Amino acid sequence: MDKKIDITNAQRAQVLVEALPYIKKYYNKIIVVKYGGNAMINEDLKEAVMGDIVLLSLIGIKVVLVHGGGPEITEMLGKIGKKSEFVNGLRVTDQESVDIVQMVLAGKINKNLVNLLENKGGKAIGLCGIDGHMIKAKQLDPKLGYVGEITDVNVEPILDVLEKGYIPVVSTVGYDEEGHTYNINADTAAARIAGQLKCESLISMTDIDGILRDKDDPSTLISKINVSDAPQLVREGIISGGMIPKVNCCIEAIRQGVGKVFIIDGRIPHSILVETLTDEGIGTMFVSENGYGH
């Protein structure tokens, strides 16, 4: 655990005063948090993230939590003797696997997160992409099986839950009109949901500091990227590998009308609060051509 830092009451008051403009800016606005990576596996970090989301909710910010759950799906498939196969970072999902995906994401993980939020003093309701026909999908590639490409997003169920004062917790499984269930990439789903909601910001939690000019040097963090500059960063190899689809999702969200998109390091305790309510912020922020930010 972190070493306890003694701060005076005056310092506490100063922190709250500095947060005030941000509380005001985000009050009654919607932010989408894409939750995944180490922050989802490490129990201490999980507790901290849920506490942060409840805090934001209690000060009048409408938080939508969108989650994946890759490691837990892999673990459950292993228990029934199925090996996980990936093609370009996407899980090959046959009929038996998609049943497990639905069970783990929409059942176990989703309800555990709802329970945690409630126990932290929040009000939460779990949804999955099938509820209210929220995430409509079609098969992305026959080789991948039941991996879905989103064709339509209906955010009415999310808005209804927010309207009643609850935190919607959304697991990323989709449906089609033939009754099939699809495994949906959580980054893609979060970006599409954020775009449909035209929310104030999308915060994507990852296991890296953000976009680094030199991947081995945290001091080279790029704190702000204009979406029009992103292709050049890909050409230069600064954005590469598994970050390319994540960044594409960020760009898509901005193009759909999301105010700002952040990629932040979910391994840092309270990273959501630092990004949302302080002058410094952490991670990398994506903005549109006429973008604004911290």
Please indicate whether residue 260 is annotated as part of the active site. Answer: no
Catalytic residue among 62, 120, 246, 260: 246
Q: Would you state the structure tokens that stand for residue 39, as one six-digit string?
A: 């922050």
Contact 154, 112 (CB under 8 A): no
pLDDT band at 115 (very low <50, low <70, confident <90, very high): very high
pLDDT of res. 294: 42
- Four-residue CA torsion sign, 205, 206, 208, 214: negative
Please indicate whether residue 70 is annotated as part of the active site. Answer: yes
Catalytic residue among 37, 51, 122, 283: 37
Catalytic residue among 46, 136, 174, 187: 187
CB-CB neighbours of 152 under 10 Å: 13
Please indicate whether residue 138 is annotated as part of the active site. Answer: no
Residue spans of the domains in the chain: they are: 28-287
**Which CATH architecture group holds 28-287?**
3-Layer(aba) Sandwich (3.40)
Write down the pTM of the prediction.
Answer: 0.92
Please indicate whether residue 187 is annotated as part of the active site. Answer: yes
Please indicate whether residue 237 is annotated as part of the active site. Answer: no
Catalytic residue among 51, 69, 70, 145: 70
In terms of pLDDT, which residue wins out, 247 or 241?
247
pLDDT band at 35 (very low <50, low <70, confident <90, very high): very high
